[in-house]
Amino acid sequence: MKERKVLTLRMDPSEARETEVAARAEGVSVNEFVREALAARITERRKDESFKRRIAELIAEDREILERLAK
């Protein structure tokens, strides 16, 4: 079995209920429904040039911090 990271998700009660009903309508667990939604969102964002620029900026920032810590 794949290793999984457990996350806590805080939602308004109405959002939680909508998610539960949508998952049931799809015939999947809430966990699977949320994972699929997140995967779709990430796939969508990867096509966005602005998003990719922000990721590149974060990589550069992290690299600077890591290099400083390594000294």
Mean pLDDT of all residues belonging to the chain: 95
pLDDT for res 54: 95
Three-state SS for 66? Answer: helix
Model-level pTM? 0.75
Instruction: Name, in order, each residue with C-beta under 8 angstroms of 23's C-beta and a sequence gap of 6 or more.
Output: 29, 30, 32, 33
52 vs 3, 26, 36, 41, CA distance in Å? 27, 31, 21, 14
pLDDT for res 56: 94
35 vs 10, 38, 40, 42, 56, CA distance in Å? 15, 5, 9, 11, 25
